[in-house]
């Protein structure tokens, strides 16, 4: 295996979420909408049709140390909430980790405020305003 890349699903917020994540972690964002699909490229399976062709068909954010992929469900009927997972970001610089955590915290539900733990100089958990769960670490310590 050469990479393990989280793939996030949204219900119409993928573009906003991925642009926000790009502002926070940096990097290059590629984004394709359903309207970008070439004519005659095939039709979606039954039940997957979308009348909102501005939804994101695929997005890729490449940033220092990682990648995130995302898309919107073709329609709200197919959208599911994210759960049972978290995106984990780890920084050697605790100040940078705190800055990222604070940026992700805007409109979020903070599950664990950013602070010192026995395994890091800084750690926090939250679910951002788009419904994505995050864990952010700064200067991990040997346990």
Instruction: Specify the higher pLDDT residue, 30 or 50.
Output: 30
Q: What is the pLDDT at residue 35?
A: 83
User: Tens digit of pLDDT for each residue in 37-85?
Assistant: 776 665 555 555 656 778 999 999 999 999 999 999 877 878 888 889 9
Q: Is the pTM of this model over 0.85?
A: yes
- % of the chain exceeding 90 in pLDDT: 71
Fold of the 82-143 domain: 2,3-Dihydroxybiphenyl 1,2-Dioxygenase; domain 1 (3.10.180)
From its phi and psi, is residue 65 left (phi > 0), alpha (psi between -120 and 50) or beta?
left
Structure tokens at 19: 């642009």
Q: Of 3.30.420.40, 3.30.720.100, 3.80.30.20, 3.40.50.1980, which CATH number belongs to 1-80?
A: 3.30.720.100
For the chain, the domains span 1-80, 82-143
């Amino acid at each position: 295996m050469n990479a393990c890349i989280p793939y996030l699903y949204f219900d119409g917020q993928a573009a906003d979420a991925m642009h926000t994540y790009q502002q926070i972690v940096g990097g290059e964002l590629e984004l394709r909408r359903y309207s970008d699909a070439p004519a005659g490229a095939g039709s979606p399976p039954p039940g997957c049709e979308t009348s909102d062709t501005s939804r994101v068909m695929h997005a890729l954010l490449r940033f220092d140390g990682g990648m995130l992929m995302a898309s919107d469900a073709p329609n709200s009927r197919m959208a599911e909430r994210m759960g049972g997972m978290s995106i984990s970001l780890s920084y050697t610089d605790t100040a940078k980790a705190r800055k990222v955590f604070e940026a992700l915290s805007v409109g979020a539900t903070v599950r664990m405020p950013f602070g010192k733990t026995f395994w890091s100089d800084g750690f926090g958990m939250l679910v951002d305003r788009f419904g994505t769960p995050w864990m952010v670490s700064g200067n991990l310590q040997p346990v």
